[in-house]
Amino acid sequence: MTIEPRRRRVAMVSVHTSPLAQPGTGDAGGMNVYVIETAKRLARRGIDVDIFTRRTTAAEEPVVEVEPGVVVRHIAAGPYEGLDKEDLPGQLCAFAAGMMRVAAHAPEGHYDLVHSHYWLSGQVGWLAADRWDVPLVHTMHTMARVKNLHRAEGDVEEPKGREIGEAQVVEAADRLVANTRDEAQELIDLYGADPERVDIVPPGVDLDTFRPGDRAAARADVGVATDAVLLLFVGRIQPLKAPDVLIRAAANLVRRNPALRDRLVVGILGGASGGAVRSPMALDLLAEDEGIADLVRFVPPADRGTLAKWMRAADVVAVPSHNESFGLVAIEAQACGAVVVATNVGGLPTAVGDGGILVDGHDSHDWADAIESVVDDPDRAADLSARAVAHAARFGWEVTAQQLATVYEAALATPLRASINDSGELAGIPRAVMP
């Protein structure tokens, strides 16, 4: 009788935002997409995934099976509503207790590994991995010291407590997953990470949903005229993402070419996030001040299928962020054949490749120049579109999941705890640089 080998089981931790939440508003964004898409692909490869996230409404079921092998577990930690992400450090103990209760009802050795996302989850994952005596794999997604170096004007500085918490997680993790080579270097330079424990695994794109298609049909579906010039921003409305840059650039284009006013549409897809929830960016007032309020359309966050239609419909998708660890919007837009114009920062050069245009800084004239070079040159636009599709095809989520599975096996084969000496310190491993 043949005995089938036991499937691996990973406890994936995403404290502050549920992978089931709609990306584009609140704290839901690229990380949500990353968590759910990798979990599904890992399960299809034979690695079961339990995703632990904080319960934010009474309507959420405690346990939700997404598909065979993928379960979302909503943990009660603090009041369901009214807590900002900045309030959550005070709920990490409650969250960890909820995870421990789940594991207490499972057989010993139920989880083989913990994979935490973002520093809040890393703090909980560190405790869980230590309690269960399993490896901890951690993905930062964003880092306080990097965000503070590239902070938008008027944006709030990331607190010292977050920096310290991140440094602790860097030291505790068996493996650290970076989206790009640049992010890996930031972990090493800014947090003292051991290079031997940093793995580069680029995020992916759902190539079944985000794919080229009929632009005219897409425009009909989203209510944009066939002959319009559509400039699109997709993402959370917050200073870090800099949607104001696109509005100012669009106003520049109209001042240069007044005839463009009859055809130009500026689409802003997303909802307020972070500090912008309490202190809105007032993009509508900015558009009015710039004289293009009649050209700007504000669209609430859309499901993935509708988002793909908007991207197929666009002449240009702008990603003017002050920093991105990767930039899922950029790669999703490129998979749809859209020309991406993005800031030359963080992981965006990797996401964009040779299928788009990178702009140094956020000067509205420079952005207008870059957009104009596409809008006024159909041949260049067609060439970039073809390059974009080919570039994005290399980033399917299946590739990401395969590489993550390899990281998991490395963490299981060489656990950090085996390097802890009698004094309780890491033997031969540099301690993370503390502020």
Q: Per residue in 318-347, pLDDT tens?
A: 999 998 988 899 999 999 999 999 999 989
Q: What is the residue extent of each domain of the chain?
A: 8-204+398-419, 215-395
**How far is the CA of 98 from the CAs of 8, 119, 129, 135, 226, in angstroms?**
22, 18, 14, 20, 53
DSSP 8-state code for residue 205 = B
Residue 147 among known ligand-binding residues: no
Least confident interval from 41-45, 191-195, 235-239:
235-239
3-state secondary structure of 52: strand
Residue 324 among known ligand-binding residues: yes
Residue 185 among known ligand-binding residues: no
Residue 213 among known ligand-binding residues: no
Contact partners, residue 307, CB within 8 Å, separation at least 6: 234, 269, 332
Site of tokens 């979990």: 39
pLDDT for residue 157 is more than 70: yes
10 pairs with which residues across the strands? 49, 113
Residue 273: the pLDDT is: 63
Mean pLDDT of the 65-89 span: 91
Residue 369 among known ligand-binding residues: no
Residue 40 among known ligand-binding residues: no
Asked if residue 165 lies in contact with residue 119, where contact means CB atoms within 8 angstroms, the answer is: yes
How far, in Å, CA of 176 to CA of 134, rounded? 15
**Which residue from 127, 118, 69, 70 is spatially nearest to 98, judged by alpha carbons?**
127
Phi, psi of 316 (to 5 degrees): -140, 135
Task: Please indicate whether the domains covering 8-204+398-419 and 215-395 agree at the CATH topology level.
Answer: yes
How far, in Å, CA of 389 to CA of 336, rounded? 7
Q: What is the chain's Cα-based Rg?
A: 22
Number of neighbouring beta carbons within 10 Å of residue 376: 13
pLDDT for residue 425 is more than 70: no
How far, in Å, CA of 66 to CA of 193, rounded? 34
Least confident interval from 196-205, 240-249, 267-276:
267-276
Least confident interval from 32-36, 145-149, 151-155, 338-342:
151-155
Q: Which fold has domain 215-395?
A: Rossmann fold (3.40.50)
More confident residue, 23 or 55: 55
Residue 9 among known ligand-binding residues: no
Residue 311 among known ligand-binding residues: yes
Superfamily of domain 8-204+398-419: Glycogen Phosphorylase B; (3.40.50.2000)
Phi, psi of 29 (to 5 degrees): -160, -140
Burial of 13 (0-12, 13-18, 19+ CB in 10 A): buried
How far, in Å, CA of 316 to CA of 57, rounded? 37
pTM: 0.87
Residue 27 among known ligand-binding residues: yes
Mean pLDDT of the 411-435 span: 54
Mean pLDDT of the 37-65 span: 94
Between the two ends of the chain, the Cα-to-Cα distance in Å is 58
